[in-house]
Structure formats: C-alpha cells, structure tokens
Amino acid sequence: MGFSVLAASAHQADALKLAVIFDADNASAAVVWELLEEEAKYGTATVKRAFGAWTTQNLAGWNDQLHRYAIQPVQQFAYTKGKNSTDSAFII
C-alpha cells in the first residue's frame, strides 16, 4: 500500500499520537495530503517519515511534499539488486 499509521501512545486527556511512515519507493507523493487528512481523524501525526532510495531520480516528486508536510526522509540504500530494501527496513 505504501504507508503505515502506528499508534504511539494514548491517554484519556491527550490526543492520540501517531507515527505515519511512507514507503516512498511504492507510494505516490500525490496522495500525501489525503493520507494526512485521513490520519488527522484519528489523532496527531507527531512522527512523519518517508523511507526510500533518495539518491535516485524516481523519488524527485517527493521533494516538495517532504518540505510542505515536514516529513523526514530516511535514506534506504538498495544493497541487493532486485530486492526492495525499503520493505525490508519496515520489517526490521
């Protein structure tokens, strides 16, 4: 799917704090706004990260979205050809 929303903590008096993690290698940057709007229905995104191979031109479309929505890019190098290293980073 390309993204995950993880609950970090919740207290009755506090809003639910969420982590939104994007698989930028497999998700389109065009849907970031809609995903963050949906997430906002459930709590506040206190952590926003996008994993991907940022040294490639494939992710150039993400640059504006990273800055606009304060999403931290996380470099994930493709150490093995033919394997999706970003998916492996999510598993770990």
Per-residue model confidence as pLDDT tens for the chain (92 residues): 455 555 555 554 467 999 999 989 888 999 999 999 999 999 999 999 998 888 888 888 999 999 999 999 998 877 666 666 676 666 66
pLDDT for the residue 2: 59
| pTM as predicted | 0.74
DSSP 29: G
d(CA 26, CA 2): 5
pLDDT (0 to 100) of residue 76: 82
State residue 82's pLDDT score. 60
Reference 44, options 13, 19, 72, 22; nearest CA is: 19
Per domain, the residue ranges of the chain are 3-91
